[in-house]
Amino acid sequence: MPETIAWPTLVGRGEILAEPLGPGLLRLSESALCPEERSFFYLVEGDRRRCLIDGGWGIGADPAAVLGTSRAGPGLLAVATHSHYDHIGHLHRVVERLGHAAEAAILAAPTPEATQAMPFLLDRPILARGGRLDVATMAQARCPLTGFLDDGMSVDLGGRRLEVFHTPGHSPGSISLRDSATGTLFCGDVLLPGLIYDDIPGADRIALRASHARMARLEFSQSCGGHGPAMDRATALARLYGLPTIGSDDTLFALCQDKFRSGAVLAALGLPVPPAGLARGGAWIVPPPPAPQGWFVKPNRLGAKIGIWSGSHCTDPAAALDLSRRIQAAYGDDAIVQAYVPGRNARASFLDLGGRGDAGDLGLSFVDSSGDFQTMADSIALYGEAGAAHRAAGTYREPGLVPVAAFQPRADARVRALAAALMQGLGLRDVFSIDLRIEPDDTVHLIEFEICPGLPCFDFEGYCRDHWSMTLAEAMASMAARRLGLSA
């Protein structure tokens, strides 16, 4: 049975994760929580001041200490976009705290009922390794506002300003902040890729629609909310206007970007995923199971063969940890340590131009390169300046694409059944790709999936050409026209 943890114990767990999103902009989260429960908060750095936007749950280390910022000094202030439990936890660590007056009472006395933690978190798994919070013990620190913000005001950080917009609907005093330096719109839970709660105490569906209409008229480069990935302007506008979109749900985008967690979900669905461990900077987070043929080590969240080197297949756990140190130093990422599986590399590509909604139009090819697996160096040679130089010199060579059905029809059928299971079990749709290894006896290993595959890559272009008799641009235009109702 998953453990149930009291709040005082949970508060001391884990660390603050920091991810750069742009110049002077970090996205923060708390490692003790499972990804679905993490809320994002942000640190914006100006020439004179730093601003902490929201404060997560309040679990783990002091963000100010982790980031080398004095909480009491004149350089740091905090802004609350609203007063829900997953946004206010670390705010008490900052002396100067700003927010809307309509949220002030809850911030001054953040009981579980007032912050929406109760009953929302009752019997809800929230921890990275399973486990629930004993909500009755939850006691977030008081964080009374020291000043109020309202529509039309701004926060001057020196060299950049945070413009304030009152955007009620999710809560009465929800505010959004636009960064003058990058055009980023920080919007709490008012604008998210996924579900926006508009039926909880304090929410107002009509007010939320009015806020969305107003936000759609704002100029901004990207929106950064409390949950889910950042959205570029086009994606955010589609969300604000309720426009139909192409592709799987954004929650699946987040899932496939975390290979370790994705593998656990796929294994739970009964799919043939190699077992894996997870390492960070030379230490095991989750030790990998024994593997007769060793392990394959790569960054947990990066794609495009980044961090895959000629020595990424290793047979010694110590070597795997060394690779995790290299990955951490180069990219700041954890390393997934996956049991090595034999076979030929294969790629399944899918674009639902026919509108059938099933795996019938899946394209499946072996990807034959010069080695056992493609490395970052191989990828660099195909694209960008290196690829252009090879083309100019007449030395450009793409890996060969060989239809799996022509040589291993039984494996081809197995992969199509696997793709259908992903579509039904996870909700993949419209456009995606799957990386696989296929053994001579038709054993299939599912390595990973992508819901936003590298469309300009040679394999997806080859799929559009061979299966649909279209260029990549023609295929995507046709897909968009069908989905958006622009063609008969």
pLDDT at 234: 82
Whether the bond into 290 is cis, omega within 30 of 0: no
- 138-185: pLDDT as tens digits: 999 999 999 999 999 999 999 999 999 999 999 999 999 999 999 999
CATH superfamily of 343-488: ATP-grasp fold, B domain (3.30.470.20)
Rounded CA separation 52/34 (Å): 22
C-alpha distance from residue 27 to each of 17, 43, 228, 484 (Å): 8, 7, 12, 33
Highest mean pLDDT among 35-39, 105-109, 232-236, 365-369: 105-109
User: Can you tell me the mean pLDDT for 125-130?
Assistant: 78
With pLDDT > 90 as the criterion, what percentage of the chain qualifies? 54
443 or 381, which is more confident? Answer: 443
pLDDT at 488: 40
- 255 close to 248: Cβ distance less than 8 angstroms: no
pLDDT at 171: 96
- 208 close to 175: Cβ distance less than 8 angstroms: no
Three-class DSSP labels, the chain:
CCCEEEHHHHHCCCCEEEEEEECCEEEEEECCECCCCCCCEEEEECCCCEEEECCCCCCCCCHHHHCCCCCCCCCEEEECCCCCHHHHCCHHHCCCEEECHHHHHHHHCCCCCCCCHHHHCCCCECECCCCEEEHHHCCCCCCCCCEECCCCCEEECCCCEEEEEECCCCCCCCEEEEECCCCEEECCCCCCCCCCCCCCCCCCHHHHHHHHHHHHCCCCCEEECCCCCCEEHHHHHHHHHCCCCCCCCHHHHHHHCCHHHHHHHHHHCCCCCCCEEEEECCEEEECCCCCCCCEEEEECCCCCCCCCCCCCEECCHHHHHHHHHHHHHHHCCCEEEEECCCCEEEEEEEECCCCCCCHHHCEEEEEECCCCCCCHHHHHHHCHHHHHHHHHHCCCCCCEEEEHHHCCHHHHHHHHHHHHHHHHHCCCCCEEEEEEEECCCCCEEEEEEECCCCCCCHHHHHHHHHHHCCCHHHHHHHHHHHHCCCCC
CATH code: domain 4-243 is 3.60.15.10
356 or 309, which is more confident? Answer: 309
pLDDT at 380: 67
Provide the pLDDT confidence category of residue 382 given band limits of 50, 70 and 90. low
Domain with CATH 3.30.470.20 in the chain: 343-488
Domain with CATH 3.60.15.10 in the chain: 4-243
387 or 83, which is more confident? Answer: 83
pLDDT at 445: 96
Provide the pLDDT confidence category of residue 257 given band limits of 50, 70 and 90. confident
Question: φ and ψ at 472, to 5 degrees?
Answer: -60, -45
pLDDT at 244: 66
pLDDT at 132: 86
User: Can you tell me the mean pLDDT for 184-194?
Assistant: 92
Provide the pLDDT confidence category of residue 77 given band limits of 50, 70 and 90. very high
- 292-339: pLDDT as tens digits: 999 999 999 877 677 888 899 999 999 999 999 999 888 888 999 999
User: Can you tell me the mean pLDDT for 450-463?
Assistant: 72
Task: Check whether 455 has a pLDDT greater than 60.
Answer: no
Radius of gyration of the chain (CA): 24
Question: φ and ψ at 40, to 5 degrees?
Answer: -90, 140
Amino acid present at 454: G
